[in-house]
Amino acid sequence: MVATMRETLMNAAQRSRVRWLLVFWLFVLSTVAYLDRVNISVAGGSIANAYGFSNIQLGWVFSAFLVGYALFQTVGGYLADRFGPRRVLAAGVLWWGIFTAVTASIPAAVTGALWILIAVRFLLGAGEAVVYPASNQFVAQWIPQKERGIANGWIFAGVGVGAGFAPPLITYVMIRHGWRASFWVCALIGFAAGAVWYLLARDTPADHPRVSASELARIRAGLNFSGTSGALASPLNWAKVVSSKEVRGLALSYFCYGYVAWIFFSWFYIYLAQARQLNLKASAFYAMLPFIAMATGCLAGGAINDRLSRRYGLRVGRCILACVSMAVAGAFLALGAEASSARIASIVLAGGAGALYLSQSSFWSVTVDIAGKSSGSVSGFMNMGNQIGGAVTASLTPVIAKHFGWGASFLIAAALCAVGALAWLFVNPERGLPATPGRYDVPEPTVAVRSGK
């Protein structure tokens, strides 16, 4: 009996799936990150009333987060490449939890409340800038190439779950305890999630005590560089990065993607309340639909990405999928903008959000494909385009809505979906960055075969 139990435990160890446990926790951190950034759009009406802000001033507050987020993307990616995703992500969660709490601590009567809130949201964005470049550095070190689509699908499903969970949670807390309490709750959730990540994670699979020999071998066999223990990236040649047609195409497409996505994150809840005349509870319900569609789209897109890549190659699995997805998203947005019923408009626009997020895993998988160990830095540069797009829409959408109506805002987003789809035709994930340090094979040190760990 003892021998049987020992054999069972050893077989379980040999079948370890530590990489998927950590992917799941990155999904949790992604959920928390979007809960902490979308909460302000749900509480936007209450914040505007408390401080006397107009919609345009509130848009400046929304944009401040995205400006900080965009400016520190490449820095966040460099830090993840240099110091590893474990410490960088844990520090980032602590940072953004603090500034989430500070957002709720600014007195309503303080002089210059608008500029203080803008500064706080800028710093919150700077802290959150590490989350996805660091996650991509994890994917580069831990996830075989054929599993990157679904891994990224799970990580970015947290976007939809966090953004979708925000309306009912924030509304519930606001109704009972006021909008400030909702931010303190979000901060506490973030502190807990960051602490668990730090305890669970390691920078490379070779450093993790619970990764079995078979899992380590499977991971190493599927990487597009040699995954040595503690081997993080060397400094990048940024001239070659910026001159890469792939990087420029990804950044342009992700700019368009970010412009569209942030209409939902920043303004959809307020759009339903003001343009569609829905009450607080109805707005909270219908505002969830795009984010449920985003989470579903991420998971489906990741699975389709991997399947198509295995069968037809990376160009079809990554690029054609993303191109078609963004084009379909644009069609949904154009139709939803013209719908007369609030219910139908919400459902059709949610379909656009879901179609858009079918392409999400493609962006992040391609940066790993072309950049290897430097994927944190390169994906951070790409994601800067996304956040610039988000910052533009956060401030521009209320201006367009004021002068031309809310429908025009969604029609412009539909046009940008078409531009983003076309940009994918110039991207080839099989063409890596020239002489990217750390991407190609280096001599592998002798590693003792693990037994039962």
Considering its fold, how many domains does the chain have in total?
1
> Does some domain include residue 290?
yes
Domain that holds residue 254: 17-207+239-426
426: tokens are 């110039």
Q: Are 378 and 233 in contact (CB under 8 A)?
A: no
> Does some domain include residue 436?
no
Q: What is the pLDDT of residues 165-207, one digit of tens each?
A: 787 888 888 888 888 998 999 999 999 999 999 999 999 999 9
With 90 as the cut, is the pLDDT of residue 391 above it?
no
User: What's the CA gap between 138 and 143, in Å, rounded?
Assistant: 8
pLDDT of the residue at 375:
77
Polymer length of the chain: 453
> Does some domain include residue 34?
yes
Greatest mean pLDDT among 42-46, 64-68, 306-310: 306-310
> Does some domain include residue 446?
no
pTM: 0.73
Cα distances (angstroms) measured from residue 404 to each of 46, 399, 400: 25, 8, 6
Greatest mean pLDDT among 155-164, 167-176, 277-286, 298-307: 298-307
Q: Work out the average pLDDT over 48-59.
A: 86
Which DSSP state fits 440? Answer: S
Identify the CATH number of the domain in which residue 265 sits. 1.20.1250.20
> Does some domain include residue 201?
yes
User: What's the CA gap between 197 and 399, in Å, rounded?
Assistant: 40
Report residue 449's pLDDT band, with 50, 70 and 90 as the boundaries: very low
Q: What is the pLDDT of residues 71-84, one digit of tens each?
A: 888 888 889 888 99
- Stretch among 250-259, 268-277, 390-399 having the lowest mean pLDDT: 268-277
> Does some domain include residue 70?
yes
> Does some domain include residue 76?
yes
What percentage of the chain reaches a pLDDT higher than 90? 39
> Does some domain include residue 365?
yes
Report residue 288's pLDDT band, with 50, 70 and 90 as the boundaries: confident
pLDDT of the residue at 154:
92
User: How many other C-beta atoms are found inside a 10 Å radius of the C-beta of residue 192?
Assistant: 14
Closest by alpha carbon to 343, among 296, 293, 278? 278
Which DSSP state fits 278? Answer: -
